[in-house]
A = this chain, B = another copy of it.
Amino acid sequence: MTHSAAQSTTEGPLGSAAEVKRHKWWGWGLDDVAFRWDNKPAFAPFAIDKIGLDLPGSTPEPEPTLEGFEVPASRLPEDVRAALSGVVGTENVVLDDELRVVHSFGRSVTDLFRVRTGDFSRIVDGVVYPGTEDEVREVLRLVLEHDLVLIPYGGGSCISGSVTPDVSEQRPILTLNLGRMRRVLSIDDTAGLARVDAGVYGPDLEEQLNAEGWTLGHFPDSFTYSTLGGWAATRSSGMQSDKYGDIADIVRGLRLVHPRGVLALTALPGQSDGPSLREMVIGSEGRLGVITEVTVQVHRLAPVRQVIAYMYPDWEHGIRGMHAIARSTEVSPTFTRLSDGPETTFSLAMVKAPSSTKGKIAATAQDALFAYLRRKGWDTENDMCISYVCFEGSQESVARQERIVKSLVKHNGGITLGSGPGAIYDQKKFDTPYLRDFLLGYDVFGDVSDTATPWSRLNEMHTSAVDAAHAALAELERPGFVFCHMSHSYHSGACLYFTFAFPYSAKEQALSEYQHVKNAIQQAFIDHGGTLSHHHAVGTEHQPWIEQDVTPVGVSILQDLFSTSDPARNLNPGKIVSP
């Protein structure tokens, strides 16, 4: 421990732009991966019951083809392209139509709908893939010199419009894809700190860290298609934040290429040196510059990891149980999660048909359990809430915590299901984003909105946001389904994560119908003591609520922060606050 820090430096060659991982052009993730309903017996009945979608009787839209759409030509002047090529190499300045489309959208429902319908009136004019911080500095210098717009880009998974260009922007727009900068540069084994290129994707980062016995412990739902720099720039939080912290806790130091030079913040465990520059860069969505390197705290891989499932008769009992776990000074779970009744029903509808004998036995056991719970007076169809809690540590510590939590759950009216369903939850957690593309194929919107609020207001927030969504759907005269889970537990409160789905009436008014429902939920967040988002950033899609969230004075301070750093608005203009 007192030996000098191990410095395991990876100095492999950088890949070219062509090797950088990316989404399919029209949706989430890999080309050959899609959500399937035919292996989930309860899904089709669920869909027709909740949103009137008759899956067996419907044919989804075919996958879109880019050939059918008009992609505007790049506006990048030839001399600028040549200058950029001189900095990063010709193969790393890409003007290709498909890549420009991919980089012009995040993966919000609005983005996905626009891509599917070929709404390409204004897309980025080129994608630049730098390989080093010096190249980023040089690219930024060219951007300022030629009055271009620069949009830093990680994995393109954001759902708040943070990487989408303003359609009224007249200047040439470049996206800066950091994907070639993806190395763990060094690990300080004594401090538990890793210095990492900002462009590394989640799985690649974990693999590099795991190889040295470390983990970051940061697993947002977007994990497979998001990057370290993107997490920092959007103030991300992973599902294991109870133990590992939000990205703002994880990031100890960073390097930002700013219009005036490099802001280099040393990795420190704590400091008293004025307003936190680190906390200004975190969440800045590219408006202050480009994050090129991040120093993160890393943890030794836990010897034992166990996810246990629990069931409560209803939401109120469940929240009481979650609160008791959060208040206990005797346990420190890795994550805690509670689905409300409708989300529990949805989870059950997502279960695959058992193929093995073991699976069939488990399904039978579940039927018996539910029958027993109904005899006890539980409403297993509507109110019952499933919960997952993850424990990590030594065998003894995990066992001790499991015992304590089991007792807290019981004390609050719940029952322990065990590790079987927990393991299933743990495996399928990154598959959900594919569902939205699937639903869009049937003219159905499926989306999420999240907030955080104190423990004292979680029930009020849950009821209010669900009611607001249902009222908005009723105003549209559309069927729809709304559900929620609580996760990301803190001392003073937690995150509530809402999912809603409804079939839009017609393509022409689809987005305005979507906005109507989304707005109702977001406004409920603000009206009931919550924030506009717990971990999905502001971008443009959450911007209508920033003034209510941080007051007009707060907005003016943010405007000043951005306008003094970037007076000509070359850096991702219009995101977070206008102008």
Contacts and interface: CB of A to CB of B under 8 A. Distances in A.
Interface of A: 1-2, 4-5, 188-193, 234-237, 241, 246, 248, 252, 256, 258, 260-277, 279-285, 288, 297, 299-300, 302, 316, 319-320, 323-324, 327, 329-330, 332, 392-394, 397, 452-457, 459, 488, 490-495, 529-538, 542, 546, 549-554, 556-558, 560-561, 564-565, 576-577
11 contacts: A190-B455, A234-B272, A246-B270, A261-B553, A265-B554, A266-B529, A268-B454, A270-B488, A272-B534, A275-B279, A332-B332
A506 to B, nearest CB: 33
B280 A280 contact: yes
B316 A533 contact: no
Nearest to A252: B492
Given A265-B554, A272-B537, 20 more contacts: A1-B324, A2-B319, A191-B454, A258-B557, A260-B552, A263-B550, A263-B553, A263-B554, A265-B550, A269-B493, A270-B452, A270-B490, A273-B549, A275-B279, A275-B576, A329-B392, A329-B393, A330-B394, A330-B397, A560-B564
Given A4-B456, A190-B455, A320-B2, A283 B277 contact: no
A464 to B, nearest CB: 14
Contacts of A330: 393-394, 397
Contacts of A534: 270-272
Given A260-B556, A273-B538, A274-B235, A492 B297 contact: yes
A458 to B, nearest CB: 9
Contacts of A299: 491
Contacts of A554: 263, 265, 277
A276 B279 contact: yes
Return the 8 tightest CB-CB contacts between A and B, nearest first: A279-B279, A191-B454, A269-B493, A269-B490, A560-B564, A190-B456, A5-B456, A271-B531
Contacts of A577: 274
A5 B492 CA distance: 12
A478 B411 CA distance: 67
B565 A235 contact: no
B193 A454 contact: yes
A250 to B, nearest CB: 10
A268 B550 CA distance: 11
A276 B282 contact: yes
Nearest to A255: B551
A58 to B, nearest CB: 36
Contact of A269 (B191, B327, B452, B533): B452
A354 B188 CA distance: 47
Contact of A2 (B266, B280, B329, B459): B459
| Copies of this chain held together in the complex | 2
A96 to B, nearest CB: 32
Contacts of A394: 329-330
Contacts of A551: 261-265
A160 B425 CA distance: 52
Contact of A560 (B192, B235, B495, B565): B565
A546 B532 CA distance: 34
A537 B276 CA distance: 12
Contacts of A188: 454, 456
Contacts of A560: 560-561, 564-565
A307 to B, nearest CB: 17
A246 B248 CA distance: 14
A283 B542 CA distance: 28
Contacts of A241: 270
A169 to B, nearest CB: 21
Nearest to A460: B4
Nearest to A548: B266
B565 A557 contact: yes
B191 A553 contact: no
Contacts of A273: 235, 283, 531-533, 537-538, 542, 546, 549-550
Contacts of A193: 454, 456, 492
Contacts of A235: 271-274, 276
A260 B277 CA distance: 22
A273 B189 CA distance: 33
Nearest to A491: B297
A194 to B, nearest CB: 10
A467 to B, nearest CB: 18
Interface centre among A256, A272, A551 (most CB of B within 10 A): A272
A491 B280 contact: no
Contact of A271 (B268, B329, B533, B553): B533
B283 A280 contact: no
Contacts of A327: 192, 300
A1 to B, nearest CB: 5
A223 B427 CA distance: 49
A268 B191 contact: no
Given A274-B577, A280-B275, A560-B564, A268 B553 contact: no
B267 A553 contact: no
A454 B190 contact: yes
Contacts of A536: 272
